[in-house]
Amino acid sequence: MADTFRLTLAQLNPTVGAIAANAAQAREVWAEGRAAGADMVALTEMFLTGYQTQDLVMKPAFVAQAMAEIDRLAADCADGPALGIGGPCLRGRDLFNAYYVLQGGRVTATILKHELPNDTVFDEKRLFTAAPLQGPVQVGPLRIGIPICEDAWHAEVSETLAETGAEILLVPNGSPYHRGKPEVRTNLMVNRVIETGLPLVYLNMIGGQDDQLFDGASFVLNTAGALAVQLPQFDTCVTHVDFVRTATGWRAEPGMLALLPHSHEADYHAMVLSLRDYLGKTGFRKVVLGLSGGIDSAIVATIAADAIGPANVHCVMLPSAYTSQASLEDAAQVARALGCALDTIPITGAQGAVGEALAPLFAGTEPGITEENIQSRLRGLILMALSNKTGAMLLTTGNKSEMAVGYCTIYGDMNGGFNPIKDLYKTRVSDTCRWRNTNHRPWMQGPAGEVIPPRVIDKPPSAELRPNQRDDDSLPPYPVLDAILEGLVEQDASVADLVAQGFDRATVKRVEHLLYLSEYKRFQSAPGTRLTRKAFWLDRRYPIVNRWRDEA
């Protein structure tokens, strides 16, 4: 019996619904593995259909096409290494999340997912049937246990595979990014290795899908949890891992050891890649955005320039009577530093026309938030017109703090197809700007150096919708607001919990009220990059109509 086994790991970027294109990627990497003398080429969970499919996988024609493609792949990849690839499997009336092993022109094994995640962004129990526990698969000299993604989070699945003869564990994943996720995965997989005494391959896809981003960061562990291979985070990668039979079992030879970025870089790379993929996978090549001279639009413009290149980013300044000269200068400086086009379209004329049209109906009332929102909605109208005319996607620029408390105008500055900073609190926006000013990476298509002037980062935030307006006229200072929101949103803390931490009860109650009151706005907001475990949308699903408040 052979004492070596070469496993080609394919950390690639599929697209949901692009079955033929995903299959073409599988054929290409299979050929690469064959040329390298691989015994098996492994792809990730649901690679053939892309992930997550949501209700698309419940459409019979979709599943039929995917399963037919599996048979074609098996025939095309007959003369060479085994191919492991994820896809749906329909048996009778039961639909499964499956992992196929193709050898010698046919499907030799179909592994069905046992543990279906049903929290955070996942609702697989709605889509799939949970399968019984299964044993390992024979590929050449090796018996491979294949717990699919969530299966590896539960000790029972891996222990069953070990007890039924598995010699290594291969975990194909569709594991989306959130801050700190690599450490979570590594700790859990070390537990599986220690419990079973088996080497473990954790293989994860990369790429953006709507609000979610799959970040790769695949790795291989030997017994006792020793790291043998670490693939990069956020980058496609194909590598060959050699397993050697020893007196105490199989062991992975040392291989690639990529360094994983710290959280600020990881978040920034996540925003860049998710925007790039959202645009590319939906067919957009250019973006347009309102550049106000403030920090939020400046970082969004920078993310866009890094994602698709400055030449594809159209910035527009839309000044009103309340726009300061400093904001005009700051917007121009940001666009100049990035190398993006900047046009200026004053809204004063349109604002006057709307005011005149409404004057008879507004007679006897005092100017206020209605008139402020008209400015924002005029800007949204103009930006959407530019988007429609040019085919560029409009980006919206509201941070998580604003989205949380509704400090944004629906049908105004919330207009747009994607929001890269939707899950980034205001205080972290500032940190991200400072990080980008002092760091540049090969995956950034924008220029190196200080692209966001310190004055933009440090000046008091203002919507500039009335004279001398500042955000902290209407909201607590952002360090206080963000700390309260971290408690209410990220930790599900009670009002009493936050008061015990030293926050003023009236301030906490006001923030809580704004948080619940703004649910209808978030329901209509653009998708944006998920960076935390409590991103608005699938992670935190609250009713729009909600009269409950925490009275503790």
Instruction: Catalytic residue, from 77, 89, 149, 433: name it.
Output: 149
Per-residue pLDDT averaged across 252-272, rounded?
A: 97
Query: For the purposes of burial, counting CB atoms within 10 Å of the CB of 445, is it exposed (0-12), middle (13-18) or buried (19 or more)?
Result: middle
Confidence (pLDDT) at 469: 84
pLDDT tens digits, 525-541: 999 999 999 999 999 99
Instruction: Catalytic residue, from 69, 113, 512, 521: name it.
Output: 113
Q: Is the pLDDT of residue 271 over 90?
A: yes
Dihedral (Cα; 451, 418, 207, 90), 10-degree rounding: 180
pLDDT tens digits, 313-371: 999 999 999 999 999 999 999 999 999 999 999 999 999 999 999 999 999 999 999 99
Percentage of the chain lying above the pLDDT 90 cut: 96
Q: Is the pLDDT of residue 459 over 70?
A: yes
> Is 124 considered catalytic here?
no
Confidence (pLDDT) at 309: 98
pLDDT tens digits, 202-232: 999 999 999 999 999 999 999 989 999 999 9
Q: How many whole angstroms separate alpha carbon 21 and alpha carbon 3?
A: 36
Q: Are the CB atoms for 395 and 289 separated by under 8 Å?
A: yes
Per-residue pLDDT averaged across 159-180, rounded?
A: 97
Per-residue pLDDT averaged across 459-479, rounded?
A: 86
List domains and CATH numbers for the chain. Answer: 4-260 (3.60.110.10), 264-469+519-523 (3.40.50.620)
Q: Is the pLDDT of residue 423 over 70?
A: yes
Query: For the purposes of burial, counting CB atoms within 10 Å of the CB of 418, is it exposed (0-12), middle (13-18) or buried (19 or more)?
Result: buried
Confidence (pLDDT) at 468: 83
- Per-residue pLDDT band for 6 (boundaries 50, 70, 90) equals very high
Indicate if the alpha-carbon torsion angle 25, 27, 29, 32 is positive or negative: negative
Q: How many whole angstroms separate alpha carbon 462 and alpha carbon 450?
A: 22
Q: Is the pLDDT of residue 312 over 80?
A: yes
Q: Are the CB atoms for 40 and 140 separated by under 8 Å?
A: yes
Q: What is the mean pLDDT of the chain?
A: 96
What residue has token string 């709307």? 354
Orientation angle between helical segments 348-362 and 369-390, nearest 10 degrees? 130
Confidence (pLDDT) at 464: 77
Q: How many whole angstroms separate alpha carbon 108 and alpha carbon 254?
A: 30
Orientation angle between helical segments 295-308 and 263-282, nearest 10 degrees? 60
**What type of residue is 254?**
P
Confidence (pLDDT) at 474: 84
pTM of the model: 0.96
> Is 237 considered catalytic here?
no
Bridge partners, residue 149, by sequence: none
Calculate the alpha carbon distances from 469 to 162, 318, 475 in Å.
65, 17, 12
Confidence (pLDDT) at 1: 60
Which tokens is 515 given? 């948080």
For 25, residues 6+ apart whose C-beta sits below 8 A from its C-beta are 10, 12, 14, 47
> Is 113 considered catalytic here?
yes
Q: Are the CB atoms for 199 and 227 separated by under 8 Å?
A: no
